[in-house]
DNA sequence: ACAGCCATGTAACTCGTTACATGATTAC
DNA sequence: GTAATCATGTAACGAGTTACATGGCTGT
C-alpha cells in the first residue's frame, strides 16, 4: 500500500486539485493533456498522452481519483476528479517531501560546450535560433499568465508563470550576450 | 549502420574531444564520470556510472572510440580516446542537428504551483532551501569556471560555465523575490 | 463526404536508474 | 591490516516515448 508515486503522478493530482470547473465534474485525460501542454511543460514536462491515461488508471486503482463514466455510445468518456484520499496524499507529499534540485537539459548549452570545433557562424546560428524560440515561448507564457488573471485561487500558478517569464528573460539576456561575444570574433574553431 | 546516437552519447564524445591530456591517451570510464559530475551535470545530466560503461561499449562497437587496454593484473583498465570516425560523427551532429528547446524539471516551481494548498511557511521553506542549494552550486561552478582559466582551447566550456553562473544568479533573484512576496502575506492556503 | 478535433488505449522499445558484485591500488 | 579511492561491469526495473489502432462528434 501507498506505493510511492512518481513526481509526474503528483503533478497530475495537483492539476486536478487546481481544476477551476468547481463542481467536481473532473477532467478527461484529453483535457489533462492540454493543461500539461498549457502550463506544466514550462517547468516540469508534458507527458505523452498515452502516459497520462496509464497514470490515470494507476491513480484510479489507488483510489486517489474519483471516476465518472459517461457512456456516450459504444465508447465511454471518463472524467477524473481528485478524491479525498487523493487530496490528502497530495498534501502529504507537499508537506513532507524535499524538492530535488532542478534538472536542466540544455541542448544549446551542451553544443556550445564544443563550440571550438565548429565555425563561429554555427554557434551564432544556434544562439539565434534559441533566441527566436525563447521569444515564441515568452509570448505563449505571457498569454498563460494573463489567462490566470488575479483570481486568488490561481495566485500560485500565476506566480509560477511569472517565474517562467523571468527565466526566459534571463536566458534571452545571456544568449544575446554570448552571441555578441562570438560575433566579436572571440570564438571559432581551434585547429 | 550509423544507428542514431542519443544526445548523451554525443556528450560523451564531446568530453573525449575536450580531453586536455593531449597525447591521445584517452580517459577511463571512471574519469569520464568525474568530468560529467564536474561540468556536464549543470546543463545536461551526469549519467550513472553504469551507463557510462554501457555507452562506451556501444561507442567502441561503432568504432567511434579507440580503446587502449592496460592489463594490470587480472583486471584491465581501458582508456578511451576519440577516433577519427568519432570526431567526424560528432562534427556532423554539431553541424547538422537542430538543438531542441531546453527541458527544465523544476521540483520547486512545480510545488509552488500548488502553494495555495499549504501554509505560507511551507512555501518559504521550499524557497529558502532552494536558495541555499543555489549558493552551494554557485560556489562549485565558480570553482569550475576558475579551473578552466583563459586557455583558448577551453574558451567554449568556460563560456558555458559562465552561462550557468548567470542562470543561477537569475534563479536566486527570482526566488528571493518570490520569498519576499510570500513573506508579505501575499499567499497562504485558500480554504 | 471528408477533415479535424475529441477521446482512449495497447505494444514495443529506449534511456537511464538503483542495487549488486568484483577486484586492484594507495594512504594511513 | 584496513579504509578509501580507482575501476569495471551485470541484472532488474521504472519512467517515459513513439507508433499504432480505434471510434465518436462537429462543421463545411
**A45 CA: nearest nucleotide by C1':** D16
The predicted model scores a pTM of 0.92
Q: What residue has its CA nearest to the C1' of D19?
A: A50
Q: What is the pLDDT of residue B21?
A: 61
Contacts of B91 in chain A (CB under 8 A): 117-118
Instruction: Point out the residues of chain A with pLDDT beneath 50.
Output: 1
- The reported pLDDT for the residue numbered A190 is 55
**Confidence at residue A152, expressed as pLDDT on a 0 to 100 scale:** 87
Nearest to A124 by CA among A79, A187, A60, A35: A187
pLDDT at res. A176: 98
Question: CATH number for the A7-96 domain, one of 1.10.10.10, 3.30.2090.10, 1.20.140.10, 3.90.79.10?
Answer: 1.10.10.10
The predicted pLDDT at position A125 comes to 97
B50 beta carbon < 7 A from strand D?
A: yes
Q: Is the C-beta of residue B83 closer than 7 Å to nucleic acid chain D?
A: no
> Averaged over B155-161, what is the pLDDT?
95
Listed in sequence order, the DSSP H helices in A40-148 are 49-61, 84-96, 107-113, 120-148
Point out the nucleotide closest to A6 (alpha carbon to C1′).
D15
- The pLDDT of residue B190 is 55
Distance measured from the CA of protein residue A111 to the C1' of nucleotide D18, in angstroms: 25
Give the pLDDT score at A21. Answer: 61
According to the model, what pLDDT value does residue B1 have?
47
Nearest C-alpha neighbor of A42 from the set B179, B106, B178, B177: B106
Question: Considering only CA atoms, which residue is closest to the C1' of nucleotide C20?
Answer: B50
Give kind and range of the element (H or E) at residue A77. Answer: strand A75-82
* pLDDT, tens only, B64-111: 999 998 876 667 899 999 999 999 999 999 999 999 999 999 999 999
Separation of first and last alpha carbons in chain B: 60
pLDDT, residue A189, reads 62
Q: How many CB atoms are located within 10 Å of the residue B185 CB? A: 8
Q: Which residues touch strand C (CB under 7 A)?
A: A 28-31, 49-50, 53-54, 56-57, 75-78; B 6-8, 45-51, 54, 72-75
Question: CA nearest B105 in A: which residue?
Answer: A44
Residue A76, beta-bridge partner list: A71
Residue A24 has a pLDDT of: 54
Q: Flag if B7 and A107 touch (Cβ within 8 Å).
A: yes
How far: B8 CA to D9 C1' (Å)? 19
For B3-43, the pLDDT digits (tens) are: 689 999 999 999 999 987 655 588 999 999 999 999 999 99
- Contact predicate A157/A40, CB 8 Å: no
Find the DSSP H helices in chain B: 7-18, 29-38, 49-61, 84-96, 107-113, 120-148, 155-183
Chain B residues within 8 A of A101 when measuring between CB atoms: 107, 130, 133, 137
Mean pLDDT of chain B: 91
- pLDDT at A144 (0 to 100): 94
A94/B102 CB distance under 8 A: no
CA B79 from centroid of its chain's CA atoms: 22
What's the confidence (pLDDT) of residue B22? 57
C-alpha grid cell, residue B19: 580531453
Residue range A120-131, pLDDT digits in tens: 999 999 999 999
If you average pLDDT over residues B131-144, what whole number do you get?
A: 96
Report pLDDT for B47: 96
Residues of B in contact with A91 (CB under 8 A): 117-118
Instruction: Tell me the chain A residues in contact with residue B116 when contact means C-beta distances shorter than 8 Å.
Output: 153, 155-156
Q: What is the pLDDT of residue A185?
A: 74
Share of chain B above pLDDT 70, in %: 91
pLDDT of residue A5: 94
- What is residue A188's predicted lDDT score, i.e. its pLDDT? 58
Q: What is the pLDDT of residue B189?
A: 61
Amino acid at each position: 500500500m501507498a506505493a510511492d508515486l512518481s513526481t509526474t503522478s503528483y503533478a497530475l493530482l495537483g492539476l486536478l486539485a487546481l481544476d477551476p470547473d468547481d463542481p467536481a465534474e473532473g477532467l478527461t485525460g484529453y483535457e489533462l493533456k492540454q493543461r500539461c501542454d498549457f502550463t506544466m511543460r514550462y517547468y516540469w514536462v508534458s507527458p505523452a498522452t498515452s502516459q497520462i491515461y496509464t497514470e490515470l488508471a494507476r491513480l484510479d486503482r489507488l483510489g486517489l481519483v474519483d471516476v465518472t463514466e459517461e457512456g456516450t455510445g459504444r465508447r465511454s468518456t471518463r472524467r477524473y476528479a481528485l478524491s479525498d484520499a487523493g487530496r490528502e496524499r497530495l498534501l502529504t507529499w507537499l508537506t513532507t517531501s524535499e524538492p530535488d534540485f532542478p534538472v536542466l537539459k540544455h541542448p544549446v548549452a551542451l553544443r556550445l560546450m564544443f563550440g571550438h570545433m565548429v565555425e563561429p557562424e554555427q554557434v551564432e546560428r544556434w544562439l539565434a535560433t534559441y533566441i527566436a524560440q525563447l521569444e515564441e515561448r515568452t509570448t505563449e507564457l505571457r498569454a498563460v499568465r494573463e489567462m490566470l488573471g488575479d483570481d486568488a485561487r490561481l495566485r500560485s500558478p500565476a506566480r509560477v508563470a511569472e517565474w517562467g517569464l523571468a527565466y526566459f528573460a534571463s536566458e534571452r539576456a545571456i544568449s544575446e550576450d554570448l552571441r555578441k561575444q562570438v560575433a566579436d570574433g572571440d570564438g571559432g574553431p581551434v585547429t
